[in-house]
Amino acid sequence: MLQVRNLLVFFENALAINDVSLEVSQGELVAVLGSNSAGKTTLMNTVSGLLLDIQKKEQRRGGERITIMGRVEYEGREIIQQKPSLRVKQGIVLCQERHPVFRDSDVLENLRIAGYLYTRREVKEGIEKVFAIFPVLRRLRKRRAGLLSGGEQQMLAAGIALMARPRLLLMDEPLLGLSPLLQAELAASIKEICRQGITTLVTEQFARPIMPIIDRGYVMENGRLVFSGNREELMDNPEVKSAYLGV
């Protein structure tokens, strides 16, 4: 479904993504593990197209020069130059890190804003689907998003992404900063989203909470993918064990 080939991303002369190739097939739940500044977010932003927008804005104000090279294919088509809105229409939706929600709007309005591309009826159905996956949100639907707890905001952020009807969902560190209990709960929800037929690519710093739900994973270090394998192979790898599982 998604094929990244020899991707290189420069911020000025610094290499953020160094020759990355990865693949996600239909229906899979794939993780990219890596520490801070390994390039996970840049990878997600490149696949979602957000980086193109950042690049354009930097260019306008004469800021950082961002260079993107390589191939990103989605369902067989090259998309590396497509702007983010076009990618969303084709089903590539990014849920950014640190639960970025619309803080002054209540939960329901957050979801309605996120249904921008769809008809009123589709939005209604979408909201029901989100509430089915995250029942907490139904109870909190009238609360302002800025007043939700971190975990609730993360669920809402996932809900916002779901409202855009992804076929390939990109989740950037969804478990960051949550308590272990919430992490397990949210991980189960992500598994459920994937089970409903939404292919998911998720990044994470710590492997433990995400390990039980993934099919395959990559390990990223300093912009390079240094290891790839299925869940068992990841768990058996001594380096992964020490660096990301804390064993």
Query: Which of 7-15, 26-34, 157-165, 187-195 is the region at the interface with other proteins (rule: CB under 8 A)?
Result: 157-165
CB of 109 to other proteins, least distance (A): 7
- Judged by CB under 8 A, the residue of 12, 25, 37, 57 near other proteins is 57
Distance CA 96, CA 203 (A): 10
Distance CA 52, CA 217 (A): 26
- Judged by CB under 8 A, the residue of 65, 89, 139, 195 near other proteins is 89
Distance CA 212, CA 12 (A): 38
- Judged by CB under 8 A, the residue of 150, 224, 228, 245 near other proteins is 150
Q: Is 88 left (phi over 0), alpha (psi -120 to 50) or beta?
A: alpha
Task: Name which of 95, 124, 96 is nearest 111 in CA terms.
Answer: 124
Q: Is 203 in the site for other proteins (CB under 8 A)?
A: no
Q: Is 216 in the site for other proteins (CB under 8 A)?
A: no
Q: Is 128 in the site for other proteins (CB under 8 A)?
A: no
CB 183, CB 191: distance < 8 Å: no
Burial 221-238 (b: 16+ CB within 10 A, else e): bebbbebbeebeebeebe
- Judged by CB under 8 A, the residue of 2, 22, 66, 95 near other proteins is 95
CB of 96 to other proteins, least distance (A): 6
> Residues in the site for other proteins, rule: CB under 8 A?
48, 50, 53, 57, 60-61, 83-85, 88-89, 93-96, 100-105, 109, 112-117, 146-150, 153, 157, 160-161, 163-164
